[in-house]
């Protein structure tokens, strides 16, 4: 009997998120599933880990081919702790999401969904982070199956190059059909952010993060361009952040 | 009268950390300083931000050329909020640290010190993260001045390429003198981590993160090699995580 692939799932929107359940449902068609969710929504957790306090983990749901654990830590903690529950098997694939909201452009840096995928990638597991361009907790995921299935199938078949995982963003549902899948690079962009000052009932200042995303380019080979034109964007992401070009430039400096 | 450079400082070890005060002291020789510290030690915060709760910020110390604020958020929040206190001036340089502990190899991914530097870099400010290979809160910083001064002077003079900041690691003090500064790439490595299960006084399980760092290579052009051989390592880090090579490979897949 052929052993079914083992698929690890993590997310950053909490165990009640629709996108997470959608991903579990789709992955159960491909193999056995170990899913570990954050306890609550945790956007913007990036690659952070919990080391100054302990975590709690509990089994929240199970079937013959599937287990769901909930963990009080961050998305990356969910990946690290998931290995406890694989009976020593190395997952054949790790998927993260489906995030409610875009992780295109520099959002990949802040994203807990992508933090989790990058963590699995650092452990040598082919990993994909999926996001939908709809922040609503009631987002419509009815159009995503086809794209998630085709990408999952390909990565299970072919793997991914060492040190690389995929950042997949899917346009929000609309009347216009999705045109296909596009390989892209991460668009330049930045958050024009600031902290809004407010005053609490005791007269003391407090600050809330706010701001807007600034697109700094719209070149055709970027994820932002693909998404605007109703394509699913796929950006291969690597965790070697070295700028090889700059190493050569700075070697000319005299220290 | 020539206006002195404005230097922004952040850290992730809390406002009582020796490394942070060392950096403030050194930077005050170069210009005006706006320093924003986390309230408590916050290692492993990566590029995480605080968006689900408000922050508090207070002025903790000041002089004519210097202000120190303490912020209840993460290191990246410290950078984002620091702009409130620069009177509209764009900092000429941002420095982060001096972190107590290594941020070499893949530790750059987990590091709040580097998260803060990368955030400033995303805002177009030349940025350097400094770390000392000594985790002790009583670490000896007496040998670092020369290297921090020379790198700071160079970056103030020449700037850095767009989208690139520096990850600087300094060997722990020893009898052997430091041999100099080396431009490097980020070494391959990974954390062999797991969560240790313990039982609380009420009989319930809880989990603590533990593990050890695995060096996966010792090539001469890596930061790990430089540090082992008593050089200060300088890795230019870029936040464009796109793997251009993989884009071309995956374009051959048929979707």
pLDDT tens digits along B41-99:
988 999 999 988 999 999 999 999 999 999 999 999 999 999 999 999 999 999 999 99
Say what the pLDDT of residue B71 is.
96
pLDDT at B27 over 90: yes
Q: Mean pLDDT across the stretch B170-191?
A: 95
Q: Mean pLDDT across the stretch B167-193?
A: 95
pLDDT at B28 over 90: yes
The tens digit of pLDDT for each residue in A180-211 reads: 999 999 999 999 888 899 999 999 999 999 98
In percent, the amount of chain B with pLDDT more than 70 equals 100
Say what the pLDDT of residue A193 is.
82
Which residue in the set B46, B106, B207 is minimally distant from A57, CB to CB? Answer: B207
Which residue in the set B108, B185, B197 is minimally distant from A244, CB to CB? Answer: B185
pLDDT at A163 over 70: yes
Which residue in the set B55, B164, B242 is minimally distant from A206, CB to CB? Answer: B55
The tens digit of pLDDT for each residue in B73-89 reads: 999 999 999 999 999 99
In percent, the amount of chain B with pLDDT more than 90 equals 91
Say what the pLDDT of residue B17 is.
95
- Residue pair B24/B79 in contact (Cβ under 8 Å)? The answer is no
On chain B, the residues whose CB falls within 8 A of the CB of A76 are 46
In percent, the amount of chain A with pLDDT more than 70 equals 100
Assign A1 a pLDDT band (cuts: 50, 70, 90). Answer: low
Distance from CA of B6 to the nearest CA of A (A): 19
- Give the orientation angle of helix B145-158 with respect to helix B18-27, to 10 degrees: 50
Which residue in the set B50, B161, B195 is minimally distant from A246, CB to CB? Answer: B161
Structure tokens at B135: 């985790």
Q: Report CB contact under 8 Å: B81, A43.
A: no
- Residue pair A66/A33 in contact (Cβ under 8 Å)? The answer is yes
Interface test with A, best of B40, B42, B48, B81 (most A CBs within 10 A): B48
**What does the mean pLDDT of chain B come to?**
95
The tens digit of pLDDT for each residue in B200-211 reads: 999 999 999 998
Adjacent-strand bridge partners of B165 = B237
Q: Mean pLDDT across the stretch A70-84?
A: 96
Q: Report CB contact under 8 Å: A245, B161.
A: yes
Q: Report CB contact under 8 Å: B207, A43.
A: no
Assign A165 a pLDDT band (cuts: 50, 70, 90). Answer: very high
- Which of A110, A162, A123 minimizes the C-alpha distance to B49? A110
Spatial distance between the Cα atoms of B20 and B12, rounded to a whole number of angstroms: 9
In sequence order, the 6+-apart residues with CB closer than 8 A to the CB of A25 are none
Q: Report CB contact under 8 Å: B160, A238.
A: no
Q: Mean pLDDT across the stretch B194-222?
A: 92
pLDDT at A252 over 70: yes
The tens digit of pLDDT for each residue in B147-166 reads: 999 999 999 999 999 999 99
Assign B146 a pLDDT band (cuts: 50, 70, 90). Answer: very high
Spatial distance between the Cα atoms of A9 and A33, rounded to a whole number of angstroms: 7
Assign B1 a pLDDT band (cuts: 50, 70, 90). Answer: low
pTM: 0.96
Say what the pLDDT of residue A43 is.
87
On chain A, the residues whose CB falls within 8 A of the CB of B84 are 194-195, 197
Q: Mean pLDDT across the stretch B231-241?
A: 98
Q: Report CB contact under 8 Å: B154, A253.
A: yes
pLDDT at A255 over 80: no
Q: Mean pLDDT across the stretch A109-126?
A: 97
Spatial distance between the Cα atoms of B54 and B73, rounded to a whole number of angstroms: 9
Distance from CA of B29 to the nearest CA of A (A): 19
pLDDT at A62 over 70: yes
Interface test with A, best of B195, B206, B231, B238 (most A CBs within 10 A): B195
- Which of B66, B83, B61 minimizes the C-alpha distance to B30? B66
Which residue in the set B49, B161, B255 is minimally distant from A110, CB to CB? Answer: B49
Q: Mean pLDDT across the stretch A141-150?
A: 97
In sequence order, the 6+-apart residues with CB closer than 8 A to the CB of A200 are A206
Q: Mean pLDDT across the stretch B111-123?
A: 97
């Amino acid at each position: 009997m052929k052993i079914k692939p083992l698929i690890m799932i993590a997310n950053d929107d909490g165990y009640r998120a629709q996108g997470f359940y959608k991903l579990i449902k789709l992955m159960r068609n491909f193999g056995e599933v170990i899913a570990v969710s954050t306890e609550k929504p945790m956007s913007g957790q990036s690659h952070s880990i919990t080391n100054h306090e302990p975590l709690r983990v509990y089994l929240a749901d199970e079937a013959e081919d599937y287990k769901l654990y909930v963990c009080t830590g961050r998305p990356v903690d969910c990946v690290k702790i998931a290995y406890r529950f694989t009976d020593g098997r190395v997952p054949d694939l790790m998927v993260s999401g489906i995030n409610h909201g875009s992780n295109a452009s520099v959002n990949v840096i802040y994203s807990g969904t992508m933090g989790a995928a990058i963590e699995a990638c650092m452990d040598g597991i082919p990993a994909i982070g999926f996001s939908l361009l709809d922040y609503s907790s009631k987002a419509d995921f009815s159009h995503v199956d086809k794209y998630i299935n085709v990408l999952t199938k390909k990565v299970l078949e072919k793997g991914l190059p060492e040190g690389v995982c995929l950042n997949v963003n899917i346009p929000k549902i609309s009347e216009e059909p999705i045109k296909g899948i596009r390989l892209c690079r991460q668009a330049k962009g930045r958050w024009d952010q600031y902290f809004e000052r407010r005053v609490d009932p005791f007269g003391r200042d407090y600050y809330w993060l706010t701001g807007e995303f600034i697109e700094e380019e719209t070149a055709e080979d970027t994820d932002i361009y693909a998404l605007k034109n109703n394509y699913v964007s796929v950006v291969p992401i690597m965790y070697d952040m070295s700028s090889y070009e700059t190493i050569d430039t700075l070697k000319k400096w005299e220290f």
